[in-house]
Amino acid sequence: MLYIRSSVNYKRNTAKHILFLIISIVLSIVPEEVSAQNSKSSSQILSAMVGKIRSAPSVKMEFEFLAVDKLGLQNPARESYSGSVTASGDFYKLYNSNFELFCDGETKWMVNHSEGEVTIFHHDPGQTDIVENPMGFFTTVESAYNFPERAKSEIIKSVSPSVNGQQVWSIELKPKNKRAPYKEIVLSINSATNQPTLVKYTSRDNSVYIVVIKEFKSLPQQLPKSIFTPPSPLPPGYKTNDLR
């Protein structure tokens, strides 16, 4: 009788051990599967975005520039504005109501309407600051920044009605250039279109800014060089600083 009970207990204990082993194996696999679903190769995502931008004859981007506080909330005491960027090859133009920037691939004109001033200088292709040269920034992220192996999948919330609810891949970028004016950038790319959606960057003084990309579209043809130079003559009374 004792032998039978011992045998039964042994079988029960063995069954428990087997069940525990199976559960342990399943639990060790599930997080990897979930992780694989919620992350993707950063290099693949960036390459797809860069390829889409470079393959277009011209592109146009409507954006909103927001200054935010440490909690990520818009700070009304700091500068915020809307604008657009048009680019074709090495040419680009940035516009908002107070400021325009023109670049024909060789020369750059900064037109400050608030101050009534125009500054002219040689174009530096290596200058790819997101505010000054957005397209240069987007097309050099693979080489100019360090980034993690995997991107993070998330849904944009409480930023702007134009992008809230979008499913994106977010990638944290660290500039290789130690003299860059910012220390960290988070680039969010729409997972369905491979187009940039949101850029959040932190400056060296810990100020935080967000560029909301309200619309990003490819244009079917190259644009004439003339639209990437300021109108002539400039409005009367504007001061010109030629730094070439």
Tell me: pLDDT of 208 over 90. Answer: no
Shared domain check, 153 and 62:
yes
E-state strands within the chain: 39-41, 58-68, 81-88, 91-96, 99-103, 107-112, 117-122, 145-146, 150-155, 167-175, 182-190, 196-203, 208-219, 239-242
> 232 pLDDT band (50/70/90 cuts)?
confident
Shared domain check, 97 and 144:
yes
Shared domain check, 128 and 13:
no
Q: Identify whether the C-beta of residue 240 lies closer than 8 Å to the C-beta of residue 115.
A: no
Task: Give me the pLDDT at residue 192, please.
Answer: 93
Domain count within the chain: 2
Which pLDDT tens digit goes with each residue over 148-203? 999 999 999 878 888 889 999 999 999 998 888 889 999 999 999 999 999 998 98
Task: Give me the pLDDT at residue 32, please.
Answer: 39
Shared domain check, 221 and 133:
yes
CATH number for the domain that contains residue 172: 2.50.20.10
As a whole number, the mean pLDDT across the chain is: 82
What does the block give as tokens for 83?
Answer: 């604008």
Q: Is the dihedral of CA 137, 152, 175, 43 positive or negative?
A: negative
CA–CA separation, 195 and 60 (whole Å): 12
Strand-pairing partners, residue 188, are 170, 198
Neighbours of 230 (CB within 10 A): 16
Q: Provide, rounded to the nearest whole percent, the portion of the chain with pLDDT above 70.
A: 80
**Which three-class secondary structure state does DSSP give residue 237?**
coil
Shared domain check, 22 and 52:
no
Shared domain check, 68 and 32:
no
Q: Provide, rounded to the nearest whole percent, the portion of the chain with pLDDT above 90.
A: 52
Shared domain check, 224 and 131:
yes
Tell me: pLDDT of 7 over 80. Answer: no
Q: Which residue has the tokens 């130079």?
A: 229
Shared domain check, 53 and 16:
no
Shared domain check, 179 and 145:
yes
- The gap from C-alpha 136 to its chain's centroid, in whole angstroms, comes to 12
Cβ partners under 8 Å of residue 23, min gap 6? none
Task: Give me the pLDDT at residue 176, please.
Answer: 92
Tell me: pLDDT of 10 over 80. Answer: no
Long-range contacts of 107-114 (CB under 8 A, 24+ apart): 107/229, 107/244, 109/229, 109/230, 111/230, 111/234, 111/238
CA–CA separation, 31 and 65 (whole Å): 37
Which pLDDT tens digit goes with each residue over 39-74? 689 999 999 999 999 999 999 999 998 887 554 555
Among 4-13, 29-38, 103-112, 193-202, the minimum mean pLDDT is found in: 29-38
Tell me: pLDDT of 15 over 70. Answer: no
Tell me the helix, strand and coil percentages in the chain, rounded to 5. Answer: 25, 40, 35
Which pLDDT tens digit goes with each residue over 21-37? 443 433 343 333 334 45
* Strand pairing report for 39-41 and 58-68: unpaired
* pLDDT (mean) for 75-87: 76
Shared domain check, 7 and 101:
no
Tell me: pLDDT of 95 over 90. Answer: yes
**Which three-class secondary structure state does DSSP give residue 36?**
helix
Task: Give me the pLDDT at residue 39, please.
Answer: 66
Q: Which residues form the domain of 134?
A: 42-242
Shared domain check, 110 and 32:
no
Task: Give me the pLDDT at residue 13, please.
Answer: 52
Tell me: pLDDT of 2 over 70. Answer: no
Tell me: pLDDT of 109 over 50. Answer: yes
Shared domain check, 139 and 31:
no
Task: Give me the pLDDT at residue 37, please.
Answer: 53
* Strand pairing report for 117-122 and 239-242: parallel
